[in-house]
Amino acid sequence: MRDFIKRALTRRIPVKGRRKQIELEPSSKLVYGMYFAIVALISLTILEAMYIIVLRSFSSEIFAAISLVIGTIFGAFFGQKG
């Protein structure tokens, strides 16, 4: 899964006059941070589903945390791609 995240965050810059592209790989801290954010998103989604099943109500706090993690993931992707 890290390879998928690393490829998605790699910036490709075209070189003038050539058909080549320069690939700038993201830092390992960013890759591990994205990995942690995806694991947190999956965990929070499972927690929200269990909350709905067990208590038969919706938790707006867990949903807010899910929205925060999604915003962080999108911000990292769009910020890295430039």
Neighbours of 36 (CB within 10 A): 11
HSE (side-chain half, CA atoms, 13 Å) at 24? 8
Query: What is the arithmetic mean of pLDDT over 51-64?
Result: 96
For 23, the enclosing helix (H) or strand (E) is strand 21-24
Q: Which of 33-37, 48-52, 72-76, 77-81 has the lowest mean pLDDT?
A: 77-81
- 3-class secondary structure, 11: strand
pTM of the model: 0.83
Residues 6+ apart with CB under 8 A from 22: 12, 13, 15
pLDDT tier at 13, thresholds 50, 70, 90: confident
Domain segments of the chain: what residues? 2-81
Q: Which of 10-19, 31-40, 67-76 has the lowest mean pLDDT?
A: 10-19
